Amino acid sequence: MNPTLVDRRYRLSQAVMAEVDKEAAKYPSRRAAVKSALRYCQEEMGWVSNEVVTAVAEYLGLEPIEVYEVATFYDMFYTEPGGRHRIRVCTNVSCMLRGAEAIVNHLQEQLGIEIGETSPDGRITLLEAECLAACGGAPMLVCGNQYFENLTTDKLDSLLDQLD
């Protein structure tokens, strides 16, 4: 992604603008709403493209690079297109000690892909994540906005069955 590539085709939807305005009103500066704006846009678009960065920057009165820095700092923002669902498996210390490697291996086998890849049917992108602050439920993963904890291979199979 290159923040200097300005593409003005994307516009924030009315619904996103309303949510961003609500969030921005809580703070003295509209800059504070960058993360919220990116989250709402990502929910609508599936990922944070150059167009999204530019549109958020324009709406909040910022430079695209300022929004780009936020988008690339947090791993919850996807700056590349991916599958309809993203599964992020925590492989940090607590999860690693409680079997994250087996969780990753099972998902890779079931999906026929490696970490960082998308299934050929475009359904699932498999990603690694740093600690997601749910160590008590290790091993865990996040899919969409939902946490799945104390994972077993049965729970993984059930999750994969649910995803369209």
Binding residues for ligand FES (CB under 6 A): 90, 92-95, 131-132, 134-135, 138, 140
State which residue, 46 or 137, has the beta carbon closest to ligand FES.
137
Min dist. Cβ of residue 139 to ligand FES (A): 7
Q: How far is CA 150 from the centre of its chain?
A: 21
State which residue, 138 or 160, has the beta carbon closest to ligand FES.
138
Structure tokens at 96: 């690693």
Whether 147 contacts 132, CB under 8 Å: yes
Min dist. Cβ of residue 126 to ligand FES (A): 16
Whether 83 contacts 124, CB under 8 Å: yes
State which residue, 45 or 131, has the beta carbon closest to ligand FES.
131
Min dist. Cβ of residue 64 to ligand FES (A): 32
State which residue, 68 or 148, has the beta carbon closest to ligand FES.
148
State which residue, 16 or 104, has the beta carbon closest to ligand FES.
104
Structure tokens at 91: 């492989």
Instruction: Write down the residue that tokens 């299934």 correspond to.
Output: 119
Min dist. Cβ of residue 109 to ligand FES (A): 21
Min dist. Cβ of residue 62 to ligand FES (A): 32
Instruction: Of 77, 63, 85, give the one whose Cα is nearest residue 146.
Output: 85
**Burial class of residue 35, CB neighbours in 10 A (0-12, 13-18, 19+):** middle
| Cα 110 from Cα 112, distance rounded (Å) | 6
